[in-house]
Structure 1
Amino acid sequence: MGIVSKRRMPGPTVDLNLLRVFVAVYESRSLTIAARRLYVTQPAVSQALARLRRELDDPLFERDGRLMRPTPLAESVFPGFRDAIEGIDRTIDAVHGFDPSSSRRLFRIALSELGEIGWLPAILSAIRSRAPHMRLEVVPIQVDALSDWLSRGTVDLAITTASVPGRFVRSQLKSQPYAVVMSASHPLAEGTLDLDAYVSAAHATVSGDSGAPMLAAAERRAGIVVEPEVALRHITALPPVLAASRDLIATAPDTIAQGWASTWPLVVRPLPFEMPPVGVFLYRRSTTQHTAALDWLYDTVARAVAGSSGQFFVIHGDAFAEAPRS
């Protein structure tokens, strides 16, 4: 009796481009954004997704309003597909390299108003010196949205003092102490500022200060609660408001306050309680597109900010000092 050999049928082969489409849809939760990221049309993304659904015998994504929600199978295969795509792209990048001098890519960085004033000049100088054609869009930071933005690739980088939930690569750029700043004519401008005087004073705050939660936590540890009497929307309004008032004080990053005090009639005093310096962090998105370019941008921005003292002095008080007093 002869022996019948059993040969294993080859397993299914999946087009690499289908995996790229899957990863882009998974990360962005949107067919439109995935198409824009891959430089193809939305129908092309839909067709590729349909092919992969047939290959894997699973819907992979289901519509939930305007979002594409992954199925349990999609959740399970995503890490492997993402790592495979990233590994291939990094291997290709190692062969060809990334040339910033010829790049025309658009990158988006989320910055606070203060970050845009202080760090953007150094960031632009560092980028444009080696990548003169690269485009940069600054997005007003929304701390509550950052985790979603970085996960979906809405922004490429973000600079913030906030702790962003999620598995993102980040590096600490600065360690920023806080201090109290007030008008030079404020009754507390002379002598030592104690805790009772700090609590009793009228406080001004800025709604966009991402260090505010750390300040509030330090105040709670000191056993005090401060209710601001003036809440401003823009950090640029704070120096003139303080300079024009004899009763308002504000708590702000000390290097920034010292910069203001060089041209505004303001004085800076140490905090009358313990507050650890606030870390300033650079976050990068977790999505997989343009890995080599993002590596270069991340390193360039990190070096630019870490090596800069900031341009906060541009909110200067020369006009205020020269204005006639009534």
Structure 2
Amino acid sequence: MLIEWKGCLSRRIVDLNLIRSFVAIYETRSLTAAGARLYVTQPAVSQALARLRRELNDPLFRRVGREMEPSALAVSLFPGFRDALAGIDRTIDGVVGFDPALSTRRCRIALSELGEIGYFPSIFRAVRTASPHVRIEAVPLDVQALPEWLSQGTIDLAVTSSPVDGGFPHIVLKSQAYAVLMSRDHRLAGTTAGITVEDYINADQVVVSGDSGLPRLESALRRAGAALRSDVVVNHFASLPSLLAASPGLIATVPDTIATGWAQSWPLVLHRLPLEMQPVEVCLYRRTTTQQLAALDWLYDTVVRAVGGTQGEFFAIHGDARAHSAP
């Protein structure tokens, strides 16, 4: 396919495949990765880049370490090229369509530990019901890497309660409050009036190192004139119920949905958090790269329908028999 390039001094016809190569290189920052996306060899991408460099009289990209760094002209061209390709592809998709029942593509969704436990079963059922041949990969969540992953197309979607810089399209799946969890044998377990701020501050605390709610908890404590006590630190939420049950001196501040499930299956008690802590918003983010947009639209909509507005299947973390029942 050819498009007309209108310059200040000339009118040129540019092969659309050159523009696709440009966008793929820009988004992946790699000739090899761009070739894989376009289903061509790396030399073919290099040749396309060389042709476009001649057409535009600009280097467009230069290698810096392992990445292809865009020039100033490339940065200015990218939004227009990307949007033009997206418009063309969506127009073609509107005619040809995307049939999830026939798709064999790989879907990659970044999830935290809790996200994988609470949401992945519902996501898997919804996706596989409509698309039985699709491959689904749950990618361990790395909040710092998310902007790069989403902008380069390394992943399709991400479920996270941590803010992601970059203006990526997203939707709030739920607003998550926190509660205080402890053993039934804890000295505060039997209080009927609820635990006080003083009780909470003075209690020995166990925290999960990767909990995205910690910054908001720390802010709530600062407003109360205190600091978070991390007497015990663990790496995974899954270790909390057995630890709390066996350690009557500890308390933990955890999402109230998971605390409720644990209290039904373990000798644990939950209390309302005696602090004004802003709820954590769990969001679904989608990549901004241009490849397979119809498939991405379908996947995004399917995941939103599967988990939007639900509390998640957090009962699975303690082996509840309901985790194996049909939806």
Same fold (TM over 0.5): yes
Q: CA deviation at 1:221?
A: 2.3
| Residues in 2 aligned to 1:316 and 1:226: alpha-carbon distance in whole angstroms | 27
Distance 1:116 1:206, change over 3 A: same
Residue aligning to 1:273 = 275
| Residues in 1 aligned to 2:153 and 2:299: alpha-carbon distance in whole angstroms | 15
Q: Once superposed, which parts of structure 1, at least 4 consecutive aligned residues long, lie more than 4 Å away?
A: none
Q: CA deviation at 1:251?
A: 0.5
| Residues in 2 aligned to 1:134 and 1:212: alpha-carbon distance in whole angstroms | 36
- 2:12 matched to 1:12? yes
Deviations 1:26-66 (A, max 9, x none): 01111121111111111111111111111111110011100
Residue aligning to 1:112 = 112
| Superposed CA RMSD | 1.4
1:178–1:252 Cα contact (<8 Å) kept: yes
User: TM-score, length-normalised on structure 2?
Assistant: 0.92
The more displaced of 33-42 and 71-80 is: 33-42
Distance 1:317 1:185, change over 3 A: farther
Q: CA deviation at 1:103?
A: 0.6
Task: Give the total of aligned pairs.
Answer: 311
Distance 1:54 1:291, change over 3 A: same
| Residues in 2 aligned to 1:13 and 1:212: alpha-carbon distance in whole angstroms | 55
| Residues in 2 aligned to 1:235 and 1:108: alpha-carbon distance in whole angstroms | 23
| Residues in 2 aligned to 1:27 and 1:223: alpha-carbon distance in whole angstroms | 46
1:260–1:317 Cα contact (<8 Å) kept: no
| Residues in 1 aligned to 2:234 and 2:33: alpha-carbon distance in whole angstroms | 35
The residue type equivalent to 2:165 in the other structure is: P
Identity in percent: 61
Residue aligning to 2:224 = 222
Q: Secondary structure at the match of 2:282?
A: strand
1:263–1:317 Cα contact (<8 Å) kept: no
Match of 2:246 among 237, 244, 247: 244
| Residues in 1 aligned to 2:9 and 2:212: alpha-carbon distance in whole angstroms | 58
The more displaced of 120-129 and 207-216 is: 207-216
Residue aligning to 1:56 = 56
Matches within 5 A, 1:176-255: 176-191=176-191, 192-255=194-257
Residue aligning to 1:75 = 75
| Residues in 1 aligned to 2:309 and 2:129: alpha-carbon distance in whole angstroms | 15
| Residues in 1 aligned to 2:295 and 2:158: alpha-carbon distance in whole angstroms | 16
1:258–1:268 Cα contact (<8 Å) kept: yes
2:102–2:131 Cα contact (<8 Å) kept: yes
Residue aligning to 1:259 = 261
Residue aligning to 2:33 = 33
The more displaced of 216-225 and 275-284 is: 216-225
Q: Structure 2, unaligned stretches of length 5 or more?
A: 1-7, 321-327
Deviations 1:64-87 (A, max 9, x none): 100111000001111110111000
| Residues in 2 aligned to 1:33 and 1:218: alpha-carbon distance in whole angstroms | 44
Residue aligning to 1:158 = 158
Residue aligning to 2:290 = 288
| Residues in 2 aligned to 1:33 and 1:247: alpha-carbon distance in whole angstroms | 52
- 2:311 matched to 1:309? yes
The more displaced of 254-263 and 205-214 is: 205-214
| Residues in 2 aligned to 1:218 and 1:304: alpha-carbon distance in whole angstroms | 32
Q: CA deviation at 1:197?
A: 0.9
1:240–1:317 Cα contact (<8 Å) kept: no
Deviations 1:88-141 (A, max 9, x none): 001001111111100111111000011101100000000011011111111100
The more displaced of 84-93 and 189-198 is: 189-198
User: TM-score, length-normalised on structure 1?
Assistant: 0.93
2:174–2:310 Cα contact (<8 Å) kept: no
Q: CA deviation at 1:217?
A: 1.9
| Residues in 2 aligned to 1:317 and 1:50: alpha-carbon distance in whole angstroms | 57
Which has the greater radius of gyration?
A: 1
Residue aligning to 2:65 = 65
The more displaced of 308-317 and 142-151 is: 308-317
Q: CA deviation at 1:226?
A: 1.2
Q: Secondary structure at the match of 1:187?
A: coil
Q: CA deviation at 1:315?
A: 2.4
| Residues in 2 aligned to 1:165 and 1:221: alpha-carbon distance in whole angstroms | 26
